[in-house]
Amino acid sequence: MRIAIVPARGGSKRIPNKNIVDFLGAPLMSYSLKAAEASGLFDVIHVSTDSRRIAEVAAECGHPVDFMRAPELADDHTPLLPVLRWTLEQYDLRGRRFDSVCLLMPTAPLIDASDLCDAAELFAKKGSKQTVIAVSRFSVPVQWAYYLDAEGQLEPAQPGMADVRSQDLPPAYFDSGTFVFVPGSDVRGGRIDGKMIAYEIPRYKAIDIDDMDDLRFAEIIARGLSQS
């Protein structure tokens, strides 16, 4: 069995109620739920939350919350892996054991069902034994990066690389922060290690909505896509 877990705790500082903030007329989280539902991949789509209001929105979207997240797993510093593990344990106690998990972020409104289906196909090709993570390619070589020192001066991250042509450097990728497929055994073991498989998505879909600028930028892209 396969489960999609959408982690949507209530606390958010930069955007109040971020997970359910209005996004083009609908709660932000609803887009992830619709994508998961439209994919037809999942036996259960579970919103993991400590917020009654978010649970109400999930129910309004057709996905009532089976149980609330434990308070000790709902602070600013709680990693996601313990949340996934605890969620599987709760379903185990209810007689529902899941072999694979999709961690689907509630702040990924540009991800659609086809992304999930294509990544799931890649996951299956690997025997559902290796993590598949949605990544995107950096627009410029990371070897050209700089840091700012304490005096505000630029320091090259990799000295001597600034003059190397981009075509002579390997492309680098970043975690898009949108979704991951993980073997259930890895989640239960509390570790996601070994080699991960990349599922590449375009950069315009890899928006990490963390503040109002991110939100408005994502809305602009979504409007453009709806008109194309």
Query: How far is residue 67's CA from residue 57's CA, in Å, rounded to a whole number?
Result: 14
Percent of the chain with pLDDT over 90: 86
Checking if the pLDDT of 176 tops 90, the result is: yes
Q: How far is CA 149 from the centre of its chain?
A: 32
pTM: 0.94
Checking if the pLDDT of 228 tops 80, the result is: no
Q: Which tokens go with 193?
A: 């290690």
What letter would DSSP give residue 131? -
Query: How far is residue 197's CA from residue 181's CA, in Å, rounded to a whole number?
Result: 10
Q: Does residue 186 sit in helix, strand or coil?
A: helix
Lowest-confidence pick of 21-30, 60-69, 114-123, 204-213 = 204-213
**Region for 45 from its dihedrals, namely left if φ exceeds 0, alpha if ψ lies in -120 to 50, beta otherwise:** beta
What letter would DSSP give residue 70? P
Q: What is the pLDDT of residues 95-148, one digit of tens each?
A: 999 999 999 999 999 999 999 999 999 999 999 999 999 999 999 999 999 999
Q: Which domains does the chain have, with CATH numbers?
A: 2-227 (3.90.550.10)
Checking if the pLDDT of 194 tops 80, the result is: no
Which parts of 126-161 fold into alpha helices (H)?
A: none
CA 174 vs CA 59, 128, 140, 150, 194: distances in Å: 33, 22, 12, 26, 17
Q: Which tokens go with 154?
A: 């630029």
Which pLDDT score is estimated for 162? 84
Task: Please provide the DSSP assignment of 15-69 as one string.
Answer: STTGGGSEETTEEHHHHHHHHHHHHT--SEEEEE-S-HHHHHHHHHTT---SSPP
Which pLDDT score is estimated for 222? 96
